Structure 1
Amino acid sequence: MALDLFAGICVSDLPAARDWYERFLGGPPAFLPNDTEAVWELAEHRYVYIELKPPHAGHGLQTLFVDDLDERVAAVAGRGIEPVLRETYDNGVRKVTYRDPDGNEIGLGGGPAEDQRSS
Structure 2
Amino acid sequence: MRLKNYLFTVLISVIFLLGCSNNNNSSADWAFSFIVWDGYIYQLSNESVNDISEEIGEVTKYSDMEGTYSGNFSNAYEKGTKYYSIEGISTQEAIAIEVEDGKYRKAFRDGKYGEK
Q: Does TM, normalized by the shorter one, top 0.5? A: no
With structure 1 as the length reference, what TM-score do the two structures score?
A: 0.25
Structure with more of its chain in helix, by fraction: 1
Between structure 1 and structure 2, the one with the greater Rg is 2
